[in-house]
Structure 1
Amino acid sequence: METILAENLDPDFRDELAERLKSLDFANCLTCGMCTAGCPYSDIHESNDPRKFLRKINLGMKKEVFEDPYIWYCTMCERCTIECPMQINVATVVRSLRGTWDKDKIPGYLQTIANEHIASGNQMNVSQIDYEETLEWIQDELRDELGDPEYTIPLNKQGAKYFYGFNARDIKIYANELQTTLKLFYAAGIDYTISTKRWDATNIALFTGQNDDFVAISMPIWEEFTRLGCQEFIVTECGHAFRSMKWGQRTFWKGEMFPIRHILELLLDLVKDGSLKLDPDAVTEVVTYHDPCNTARKEGVWEAPRELIRSFVKNFVDMNPNGRWNYCCGAGGGGMAMPEYNEIRKAKGKRKVDQVVATGAEIVIVPCHNCIDQFNDLNKWYPDTKGKSKNMHMCDLIERALIMPEKKPKA
């Protein structure tokens, strides 16, 4: 171990960071190592020890902190925080340090995504023409599928009960999944709307720590919700979109607060009140559920998805651990957008693979776009697991059990 010289320490570093955080909680570190013990990946590769990282901060080792790859290796999953006796939020510390980075030096294409989102209004840089044409295509497909030539996607509807915000991947890549979700909305008969102005609920600046970018990305969609006068903001199956909307609203929104809920919470309510009817015998495979860190640990949504699953899945086997104590899949903290760290993402993912295999699951419900991309990569990287389980969003599995309402005869 190298000698630490007092003359090389920066006594002001802690105060500088505390000012950014508006808190000195990291200075309460007991160096007990519970954070490292709680991190499922501290033993997977080098430079992934939260205790050592916090010690560098508290000792004023500014140069060493900014040279430590931990800043970008950390998935910001907060698994260490729930083990910490002082409840130090390491993810918040990491995000704050990332926010001091020069934007042109941020790894991968994180900043490119942020810039494109600010410019185009969505993270996939989908043009307005392509967006509207995709919605028209989905509408045509649903008219055929539902046998309802009058079906229309409710766009820009003033005063709708629900405003639906989703992921740009659902337009650029997975339009069929948006189609499935809108089919569920149709079957349940809910009053909702989709905006043609602002609709992408994701925010890559959640990972970069660049708060000016965060506000530039998310403020317009909150303003669009308010302009349309909706009652509740519903976020798609995307952990970081849900976290961005919830945490971002608490942190940056200055207007009147409004309810923001995950789509799985809404779907559970629709099942419970009978609006959405599901066949309890339709899904017979062994099914397990992955808790996205941003949805479960950070925003407290883990019970509703399981209650929803048990309403239509006969053979549900939970991972161990799960819920608040779940393991990050390895793609958090923007990992999917930093290809230079693919080998690290792969190494971390093996722990999640082992969890899945232990359940014997044939289907893994993965209610997050980043997570499902990681799970699909893991199937390729670990061929011994390929074919043993299929990764799906919850809405796709629900569609298999959906009982469509009887059509009412026209008067």
Structure 2
Amino acid sequence: MSEPIRVKNLDPTLRDEVAELLQGYDFSNCLTCGMCTAGCVYSDLHADQDPRKFVRKVVLGMREEAENDPFIWNCTMCNRCTVECPMGVNINALTRAFRGKVAKPPGFLQVIADDHIRTGNQMGVEQIDYDETLEWIEEMMQEDLKDPTYKIPIDVPNADFFFGFNAREIKHYPADLQSILNVFHAAKLNFTISSRRWDATNICLFTGKNDEFDAISRPLFEEAERLNSKEIIVTECGHAFRSTRVFARDYWNGKQFPVRHIVELYADLIKDGTLKLDKTRNTIPVTLHDPCNMVRKEGIVEPQRYVLSNTVMDFREMFPNKMYNICCGAGGGAGAVAETKAMRMVKAKPKVDQLVATGAKIGCIPCHNCMDQFVDMNRHYKLGMKMMHLTALIEVALGLVDEEKQFSH
């Protein structure tokens, strides 16, 4: 039986304190109806996953209970609860605010933030390693393109766009960056990447440390301003995309840059005929995951579907999808909290059921953070699927890579 709530133990200042963190957010919007909990696919999968209870603790002033609630770090901040809320209570923002009150986030979250501030990227890649990786990719492309003069456009002024990517694409998955550069080359795009600050991710989107969030993203925008790019395009990473969008909206006061996800760019290139795809080259059934930061929070819903419909022969939707998609289970920085790995696989089960129901053999995952989770769940649940970024499928449709080779890679 639950302990009774005693009025003498309530702290009426908590509500105002959190409201100030959220710039005047009004908790009185909450009707205690429970639609948030009903919308959370994880509320029945494990303990301490009830958004309604957490909101009520804050509203009532149950300071100790709220600040020590496991919900704060169990929540993937996917915002599925807010979609269901008739009053639009933003529980993602509330959760982030409470995370920001913690001295040190759990797992490797603070290590990642510290490495990013120190080195300019979340993986702690040193400058010499960055330079050598780009040189290696350039040499590979020169060989593949049979063009010894090909150069990766680095620090090019006045380009159409500045390309920001994920440090994983340098440290662990340089082939993914090469795939993107292959598509950019095929489209003859005028773009640049920076020799200095290139990682568009920002782990403080999840830790709630606003001063560190600013310290991490500001140099990226300063680079785009230095190079006088027209806009910023962000790689297939929902976390990097939303971080960059949020910084542009709420922090940056320099030259204004439109911030777009790479799938939006791909859609435009297909529509205007710049990218000429032959979808008959992609015959294997494909399904699409909707990353929460990209789709539900930033509203990028249709471009990836347009691209897929022009890239593959057999595109199968998961249900529910789009704004009502089910989180993969690794959002909110869960992938960097070691003790949650077993819980991540528990949370993966609803998404696994969706994947299996489609009968697809390929999962198209336009997000690096989600990709890591899908690779883990594919192995854990023995699905026998291939998880691929959208760019890899475009490479096949362009005739740059054979489907069988890409699928088996």
TM-score normalised by L of structure 2: 0.96
CA distance in 2, matches of 1:381, 1:118: 34
| 3-state SS of 1:314 partner | coil
Amino acid at match of 2:182: K
- Structure 1 residue 184 corresponds to structure 2 residue 165: no
Give the Å deviation of 1:379: 1.5
Amino acid at match of 1:61: M
Amino acid at match of 2:283: T
Instruction: Look up the match of 2:194.
Output: 195
Cα shift readout 1:3-23 (whole Å, capped 9, x = no counterpart): 111111101110111011112
CA distance in 2, matches of 1:341, 1:171: 26
CA distance in 2, matches of 1:248, 1:31: 32
Instruction: Look up the match of 2:386.
Output: 390
Give the Å deviation of 1:403: 4.0
Cα shift readout 1:322-349 (whole Å, capped 9, x = no counterpart): 1111011000000000011112211110
User: After TM superposition, where is structure 1 displaced by more than 3 Å over at least 4 residues in a row?
Assistant: none
- Contact 1:277–1:403 (8 Å) recurs in 2: no
Instruction: Look up the match of 2:100.
Output: 99
CA distance in 2, matches of 1:77, 1:8: 32
Instruction: Look up the match of 2:398.
Output: 402
| 3-state SS of 2:232 partner | strand
CA distance in 1, matches of 2:240, 2:171: 16
- Contact 2:225–2:255 (8 Å) recurs in 1: no
Instruction: Look up the match of 1:205.
Output: 204
| 3-state SS of 2:107 partner | coil
Amino acid at match of 2:165: F
Amino acid at match of 2:197: R
CA distance in 2, matches of 1:277, 1:149: 25
| 3-state SS of 1:296 partner | coil
Query: Where does 1:144-293 land on structure 2 (aligned, <5 Å)?
Result: 144-293=143-292
Between the aligned residues of both structures, percent identity stands at 56
CA distance in 1, matches of 2:212, 2:341: 25
CA distance in 2, matches of 1:233, 1:25: 33
Cα shift readout 1:236-272 (whole Å, capped 9, x = no counterpart): 0000000000012111111232111000110111111
Cα shift readout 1:40-65 (whole Å, capped 9, x = no counterpart): 11111000000011011111000000
Give the Å deviation of 1:365: 0.3
Amino acid at match of 2:303: A
Instruction: Look up the match of 1:408.
Output: none
CA distance in 2, matches of 1:151, 1:205: 37
Amino acid at match of 2:217: S
CA distance in 2, matches of 1:251, 1:229: 21
Give the Å deviation of 1:302: 1.3
Amino acid at match of 1:91: N
Instruction: Look up the match of 2:403.
Output: none
Amino acid at match of 1:17: V
Cα shift readout 1:71-122 (whole Å, capped 9, x = no counterpart): 000000111001101100000000011011103xx10000000000000000
Instruction: Look up the match of 1:328.
Output: 327
CA distance in 1, matches of 2:266, 2:25: 40
Cα shift readout 1:338-377 (whole Å, capped 9, x = no counterpart): 0111122111101100011011110000011110100111
Give the Å deviation of 1:275: 1.2
TM-score normalised by L of structure 1: 0.96
Give the Å deviation of 1:279: 1.1
More off after superposition, 248-257 vs 224-233 = 248-257
- Contact 2:311–2:393 (8 Å) recurs in 1: no
- Contact 2:281–2:399 (8 Å) recurs in 1: no
- Contact 1:167–1:201 (8 Å) recurs in 2: yes
CA distance in 1, matches of 2:174, 2:72: 34
Instruction: Look up the match of 2:405.
Output: none
Give the Å deviation of 1:280: 1.8
CA distance in 2, matches of 1:284, 1:215: 44
Amino acid at match of 2:345: K
Instruction: Look up the match of 2:23.
Output: 22
CA distance in 1, matches of 2:99, 2:17: 14
CA distance in 1, matches of 2:255, 2:49: 40
CA distance in 2, matches of 1:344, 1:83: 24
Give the Å deviation of 1:26: 2.5
Amino acid at match of 1:199: W
- In the alignment of these two chains, the number of paired residues is 399
* Structure 2 residue ranges without an equivalent (≥5): 401-409
Instruction: Look up the match of 1:369.
Output: 368
For the aligned residues, what is the CA RMSD?
Answer: 0.9
Instruction: Look up the match of 2:133.
Output: 134
CA distance in 1, matches of 2:199, 2:262: 14
Instruction: Look up the match of 2:407.
Output: none
Cα shift readout 1:146-169 (whole Å, capped 9, x = no counterpart): 111110001000001111000000
More off after superposition, 108-117 vs 37-46 = 37-46
- Contact 1:80–1:90 (8 Å) recurs in 2: yes
CA distance in 2, matches of 1:278, 1:403: 8
| 3-state SS of 1:281 partner | helix
